[in-house]
Structure 1
Amino acid sequence: MPNPGAPPPPGALRTHLLGALPGATASGARVLRALLDDPAGAAQLTVTGLAGRAGTSEATVVRTARALGFAGYPQLRLALAAAAGGAGGGAGADEPIALITGDLAEGGDLGAVVATLAALEREAVTATAAALDTAALAAAAAALAGARVVDCYGVGVSALVARHVDLGASRLGLLSRLRTEPHAALVSSALLRPGDAALVVSHSGRTREVLAAAGRARERGASVVAVTGSATGPLARTAEHVLVAAGRETAYRAGATAGRASALFLADCLLAAVAQRLGAPAVAALRATYEAVGEREGRR
């Protein structure tokens, strides 16, 4: 599980900033957005300058730096400068940072809306892949592959990702149960036991319904695997294995689109790792289910 009190590894600062947004206060979010919009420029600012740019106080800037795992703002500035120096132009010469991180403008050109959404999804998946800890991925896959039963929890948009994992796990031959209704998730989690696993999806990491089910599953001794957009949220603290999906919400929920794309990407990585761990039985299960679906559809 990631250490919420530690700074991000080199090359993962942007993902770390994106992951901190869902749980930030309003003033803290303004600081994070100022850093995301212009990391190279922010690296040149004093704490007073950044506070002015974000429209908040110096104390908020310092608290935000510490919440990100840095000893203080000077250490965050060094990380920003290093990230800007190694970014090779950031998002690209014809893709300004504002396009990728900004909200959609009301009444804007539809082509610009499409470009913004494409950029958000592209960056979210790229950032998620860059920051993905393969050791954590392997541990999460081992928990699912060896489980007697796998419960999949998620509500709202996150239910789509949970459903994706449930279908994929079933096709690999695992006993998987999708629980996207809160009471059903609580009932199911109360019956889990050691050797079982719960796959819990929440972009914010704070959804009460899935947090309750995740907590109950952990109390029952089951392994809890989280797919979340916040490495420091309550779900990450509850889970045994944490996979972090980059992507943030905006006024028009473009971030929800990006967050869903990166969460689905993580789900595919997890399912691939499970299949790799299971080996021949997974191949046989995939072949059998593929043939069953093909026969049903009249495939030749």
Structure 2
Amino acid sequence: MSSDLKETFMPPPQSDPTPPAPAALAAKVRTLGPSMTRSMQRVAEAVAGDPAGCAALTVTGLAERTGTSEATVVRTSRLLGYPGYRDLRIALAALAAHQAAGRAPAVTADIAVDDPIADVVTKLAREEQQCLADTAAVLDTSQVEAAVSALATARRIDVYGVGASSLVGQDLVQKLLRIGLIAHAHADPHLAVTNAVQLHSGDVAIAITHSGRTTDVIEPLRVAFERGATTVAITGRPDGEVAQYADLVLTTSTARESELRPAAMSSRTSQLLVVDCLFIGVAQRTYESAAPALSASYEALAHRHDPRPGHR
């Protein structure tokens, strides 16, 4: 790291991380699947589609079922957060039990062109709920706490995002402004880079990109990283290029992409959850100054919208 601040907010390495709970296993399969190799995807799809059946298989049996190798099965297990296949089998058995008891939601069907609006509402609500649950399951709270600590003491905060992610960035910035922090949202890539050049130790830069490979977002984050700012990535691809320049990575999940529901729509839900977690965390950490600032902003807006004469 290029600054003391980065060392302060980087969480300590974990040599023996706790394996994900059954619900988190399902979330990790959905979240990490698209970034896996094709052979690893086959293993992930098999365990997600039939946890009970796969739990009964040996590593050799699962390799034969998926047309892969034992090494691929083990690598997939580790990518999903388990020390080895034995630990994955235990989690699969637990997940199967949860599903049998009705505590694990089934994957909802895609929205069809001829679906009545009542079905659209139901399917979207289920997808949104699953997306939020998956994000909560895969989000590393130690990384969130480190990001909150950095934001709470930041001299200045820059947020980068384009497209739907820029809307999420604007939401975060307006929340931070209302509790008295200095924050800026940058959707223009040129302005983002020119502002990133001005950052240094004591500042925070946040990149929001679901794919983890949006160049217009990665470039200003890279500049901020090299200038010594604490850098944060909010992304659905923790192994994406954006992570190379992020001191802290906040992983989001997403509902399945379909013809009528592109990734930009589904990813926004999980991004907004992370934004709210960051805001609440910072407000808690800076309560003595945040509470009066928030109250003042409420009063200012109420006065502005008062319809009575002389109260505009």
> Shorter-chain TM-score: what band?
0.7 to 0.9
> Which residue number in structure 2 is paired with residue 64 of structure 1?
76
Residue of structure 1 equivalent to 2:3:
none
Given that residues 25 and 80 in structure 2 are in contact (C-alpha distance below 8 angstroms), is that contact kept between their aligned partners in structure 1?
A: no
In the alignment, which residue of structure 1 is the partner of 2:28? Answer: 16
Moved more, 117-126 or 32-41: 32-41
Give 1:81 shift: 1.9
Render the CA deviation track for 1:60-106: whole Å, top value 9, x for unaligned.
Answer: 555433433445544433332233335673555xx5x231xx54345
> Which of 94, 97, 112 is the equivalent residue of 2:119?
112
Q: Is the 8 A contact 2:40 2:72 kept in 1?
A: yes
CA distance in 2 between partners of 1:221 and 1:241 (Å): 14
| Match of residue 134, structure 1, among 138, 141, 148 | 141
Q: How far 1:7 moved relative to its partner?
A: 7.3
1:277 matched to 2:289: no
Q: What letter corresponds to residue 265 of structure 2 in structure 1? A: T
Contact 2:138 2:252 in 1 (8 A): no
Alignment of 1:1-300 (within 5 A): 8-11=19-22, 12-26=24-38, 28-45=40-57, 57-58=68-69, 61-70=73-82, 73-86=85-98, 89=101, 97-99=106-108, 102-252=109-259, 253=261, 256-298=264-306
Tell which structure's C-alpha radius of gyration is larger: 2
Amino acid at match of 1:229: G
Change (3 A) 1:152 1:44: same
**CA–CA distance in structure 2, aligned partners of residues 7 and 254 of structure 1:** 33
CA contact (8 A) 1:7 1:68 kept: no
CA pair 171-53 structure 1, distance change in 2 beyond 3 A: farther
**Deviation at residue 248 of structure 1 after TM alignment:** 3.9
Whole-Å separation in 1 of the counterparts to 2:241 and 2:92: 27
Distance 1:76 1:241, change over 3 A: same
- 2:280 partner amino acid: A
CA distance in 2, matches of 1:214, 1:224: 7
Whole-Å separation in 1 of the counterparts to 2:246 and 2:74: 28
Aligned to 1:98, the other structure's residue is in SS state coil
2:19–2:83 contact (8 Å) kept in structure 1: no
Unaligned runs of 5+ in 1: none
SS in 2 for 1:257: helix
- Residues in 1 aligned to 2:120 and 2:214: alpha-carbon distance in whole angstroms: 28
Amino acid at match of 1:16: K
User: Residues 104 and 24 from structure 1, CA distance in 2 versus in 1: closer, same or farther, beyond 3 angstroms?
Assistant: farther
**Number of positions where the alignment pairs a residue of Structure 1 with one of Structure 2:** 294
Structure 2 CA distance for aligned equivalents of residues 224 and 142 of structure 1: 12
Q: Share of identical aligned residues, percent?
A: 41
Q: CA deviation at 1:210?
A: 1.3
CA distance 1:16–1:91, shift in 2 (3 Å):
same
Tell me how far apart the structure 2 counterparts of residues 260 and 86 of structure 1 sit (CA, whole Å): 28
Q: What is the CA-CA distance between 1:249 and the residue it aligns to?
A: 4.1
CA distance, structure 2, for counterparts of residue 183 and residue 5 of structure 1 = 42
Q: Is the 8 A contact 1:8 1:16 kept in 2?
A: no
Q: From the superposition, tell whether residues 138 and 84 of structure 1 become closer, same or farther in structure 2 (CA, over 3 Å).
A: same
Summarize deviations over 1:20-69 as a string: whole Å, max 9, x none. 13423455445434433333333234567656776x53475554334334
Residue segments in structure 2 that go unaligned for 5+ positions in a row: 1-10
Kindly provide the amino acid, as one letter, of the partner of residue 161 in structure 2.
G
Contact map agreement 2:20 2:81 (CA 8 A) in 1 = no
- CA distance in structure 2 between the partners assigned to 1:275 and 1:116 by the alignment: 34
| Per-residue deviation, 1:208 | 2.1
Report the Cα distance in structure 2 between the residues aligned to 1:261 and 1:211, rounded to whole angstroms: 21
> Letter of the aligned partner of 1:65 in structure 2?
S
